[in-house]
Amino acid sequence: MEYVKRGENHRDKLKRWLDAGARLVYDGKIFRLYEQPVIFKNPETGKEETQIYELVERRDAAHVLAEKDGKIWMALQVQFGYPKPFYAPFGGFVDNKEKPDVAALREMLEEGGFESDEIFPIGELSPQNSMAWTEYYFYAKNCRKVANQKLDAAEQQMTLIAMPPKKFMKEMLFNPNFRAADDLKHLLLSQPAAADVARFIGMFDRAKS
């Protein structure tokens, strides 16, 4: 199944900025800030003026819906910075030089204790604004429970949640407390992705049978 893409890949966006002369002014653990001075002529005064534009690059993230024993597994999470618990697929930041599918499997092992030899791409999303990053979504089939959770400092608590695929499709995609709801709706329910949606639901049906 091919990636369903929404928006310009952030690497292409960043390349356009760098080719135009943008410079890095802040390099943090998660974010980088670039500035691009643009010279234009003021139509009222006829004089040249300089406007500073900014682009924020954020580390990519990878998320995975895990199927085990005919059910979709995710986590009810308590995290620093969020006012209340929320549902989310297993996932997190993609490490430097790490492939998105490898990152998704690593996060699934750390947060859920699951492994899988069958992982399928659902799609990817990149925002269309002054921030640049890509969110990757995957579906892992026939998962195995092989370890206990290994959470990082910000992941204060994660309770594993499982539900039948059709219930997940019906309830979680429209649940405002499911953090991936909007992204997955864009990828799965948009008209251009109809063929991919059919294949994706087909995976769920086979997993349940």
What is the rounded CA–CA span in Å between residue 105 and residue 184? Answer: 18
Residue type for 23, please? R
Whether the pLDDT of residue 194 is over 50: the answer is no
Neighbours of 32 (CB within 10 A): 17
Question: 144: number of CA atoms within 13 Å, CB side?
Answer: 5
Same domain, 148 and 106: yes
What is the rounded CA–CA span in Å between residue 52 and residue 37? Answer: 4
E strand spans, the chain: 4-6, 23-27, 31-41, 48-58, 61-68, 71-79, 86-88, 90-93, 114-115, 118-125, 131-132, 135-141, 144-145, 155-163
Same domain, 51 and 65: no
Q: What is the pLDDT of residues 169-191, one digit of tens each?
A: 888 888 989 999 888 877 876 64
Give the total number of structural domains in the chain.
2
Q: What is the pLDDT of residues 26-48, one digit of tens each?
A: 999 999 999 999 888 888 888 99
What is the rounded CA–CA span in Å between residue 165 and residue 201? Answer: 9
Is residue 5 assigned to a domain?
Answer: no
Domain range spanning residue 119?
60-208
Confidence bin at 207 (pLDDT 50/70/90):
very low
For 168, the token pair is 């997940």
Whichever domain contains 154, its CATH number is: 3.90.79.10
Instruction: Give pTM, 2 decimals.
Output: 0.82
Same domain, 157 and 111: yes
Q: What is the pLDDT of residues 53-104, one digit of tens each?
A: 999 999 999 999 999 998 999 999 888 777 889 999 999 999 988 999 999 9
Contact 89, 103 (CB under 8 A): no
Whether the pLDDT of residue 2 is over 60: the answer is no
